[in-house]
């Protein structure tokens, strides 16, 4: 098969691993920077050009779309869909996953556990917003933040009010969430491929930090999920419409609580922590779905 990896950087670990494993399994692997694609829309003849050459004969696409280029990256994925090319992440699911507020609403409607969350249209009554999630300490997140950026733990009511007032003054959209103390700075990432959890790790924040992201100094170790945690991850990926997903959860006294469902989860941290070949699972997912 001829498989395209949509990635802005061919040197990234995830891109390299997918390409390497695909070639080992006998496929022709191409890495295309989606931001440099031209889309031609014509009646019954959708086309994509990359660096002046038409992209043809593609059997499958693996989108690795960064948050900063979601709009254009999704347009490119949609164009491939119009060309009847199989994609491991559908355009609508990609857009849905990047809207944090919509994602939380979808997960809530499906009955999945979440930290209590509040959102407002720049209300000046920030103290009411804090009360609605159970008071301080609470977590304040930018709706557009990624990889732990734009996430603040407000330890006191006055600190939370100050942060919210600052964001509101700048007309920046934020959500306020309850702080799950018993998680103790740790979270779980379950990597789902085609309805199966292929790997899971526990990430632990470094001393003095509550964000467990690995590139912020957090550590990772393999973990055996409970049945409830596994079912939560699988249901979250399904209701979000994602064939590939990184489901981030907190362990609470009331069961797993989902923080986020990532549509372009990185492979490096979890492959190294678990020693699982996730890139192989992704290529096999394509092989099962493309004739």
Using the Cα atoms of residue 177, residue 182, residue 183 and residue 185 in order, give the sign of their dihedral: positive
Q: How far apart are CA 233 and CA 201, in angstroms?
A: 13
Nearest to 18 by CA among 29, 9, 26, 34: 29
Q: Please determine, looking at this structure, whether the domain spanning 183-283 carries the CATH number 3.30.470.20.
A: yes
pLDDT at 46: 94
Q: How far apart are CA 100 and CA 144, in angstroms?
A: 8
Domain 117-179, CATH number (from 3.30.70.1400, 3.40.50.261, 3.30.1490.20, 3.30.2090.10): 3.30.1490.20
pLDDT at 291: 72
Q: What is the 3-state secondary structure (H, E, C) of the chain?
A: CEEEEECCCCCCHHHHHHHHHHHHCCCEEEEECHHHEEEECCCCCCEEEECCEECCCCCEEEECCCHHHHHHHHHHHHHHHHCCCEECCCHHHHHHHHCHHHHHHHHHHCCCCCCCEEECCCCCCHHHHHHHCCCCCEEEEECCCCCCCCEEEECCHHHHHHHHHHHHHCCCCEEEEECCHHHCCEEEEEEEECCEEEEEEEEECCCCCCCCCHHHCCEEEECCCCHHHHHHHHHHHHHCCCCEEEEEEEEECCEEEEEEEECCCCCHHHHHHHCCCHHHHHHHHHHHHCC
Using the Cα atoms of residue 9, residue 14, residue 15 and residue 20 in order, give the sign of their dihedral: positive
pLDDT at 287: 98
Nearest to 116 by CA among 70, 72, 176: 176
pLDDT at 280: 98
pLDDT at 231: 98
pLDDT at 264: 95
pLDDT at 121: 84
- Give me the residue label for tokens 């003095």: 208
Helix axes 278-289, 13-24, angle to 10 degrees: 60
Tens place of pLDDT for every residue, the chain, 291 residues?
999 999 999 999 999 999 999 999 999 999 999 999 999 999 889 999 999 999 999 999 999 999 889 999 999 999 999 999 999 999 999 999 999 899 999 999 999 999 999 998 888 889 999 999 999 999 998 887 555 567 889 999 999 999 999 988 888 888 999 999 888 888 999 999 999 999 999 998 776 555 655 555 578 899 999 999 999 999 999 999 999 999 999 999 999 999 999 999 999 999 999 999 999 999 999 999 997
Spell out the domain ranges in the chain: 2-87, 117-179, 183-283
* C-alpha dist (Å) from residue 3 to 31, 215, 284: 9, 29, 12
pLDDT at 226: 96
CATH number of 2-87: 3.40.50.20
Nearby residues of 106 by Cβ (< 8 Å), 6 or more positions away: 96, 239, 240
């Amino acid at each position: 098969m001829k498989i395209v990896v949509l990635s802005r950087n061919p040197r990234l670990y995830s891109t390299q691993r997918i390409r390497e494993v695909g070639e080992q399994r006998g496929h022709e692997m191409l890495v295309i920077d989606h931001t440099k694609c031209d889309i031609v829309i014509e009646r019954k003849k959708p086309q994509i050009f990359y660096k002046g050459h038409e992209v043809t004969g593609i059997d499958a696409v693996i989108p690795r779309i960064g948050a900063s280029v979601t709009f254009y990256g999704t347009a490119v994925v949609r164009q491939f869909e119009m060309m009847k090319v199989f994609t491991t992440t559908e355009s609508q699911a990609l857009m849905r996953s990047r809207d944090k507020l919509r994602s939380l609403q979808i997960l809530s409607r499906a009955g999945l556990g979440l930290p209590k969350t509040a959102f407002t249209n720049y209300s000046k009554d920030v103290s009411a917003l804090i009360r609605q999630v159970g008071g301080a300490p609470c977590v304040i997140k930018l709706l557009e933040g990624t990889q732990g950026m734009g996430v603040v733990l407000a330890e006191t009511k006055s600190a939370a009010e100050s942060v919210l007032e600052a964001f509101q003054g700048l007309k920046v959209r934020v959500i306020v969430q309850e702080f799950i103390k018993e998680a103790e700075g740790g979270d779980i990432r379950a990597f789902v491929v085609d309805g199966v959890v292929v790997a899971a790790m526990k990430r632990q924040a470094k001393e003095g930090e509550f964000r467990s992201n690995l590139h912020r100094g957090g550590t990772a170790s393999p973990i055996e999920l409970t049945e409830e945690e596994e079912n939560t991850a699988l249901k979250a990926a399904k209701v979000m419409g994602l064939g590939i997903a990184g489901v981030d959860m907190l362990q609470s006294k009331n069961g797993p609580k989902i923080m986020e469902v990532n549509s372009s989860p990185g492979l490096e941290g979890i492959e190294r922590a678990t020693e699982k070949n996730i890139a192989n699972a992704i290529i096999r997912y394509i092989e099962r779905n493309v004739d």
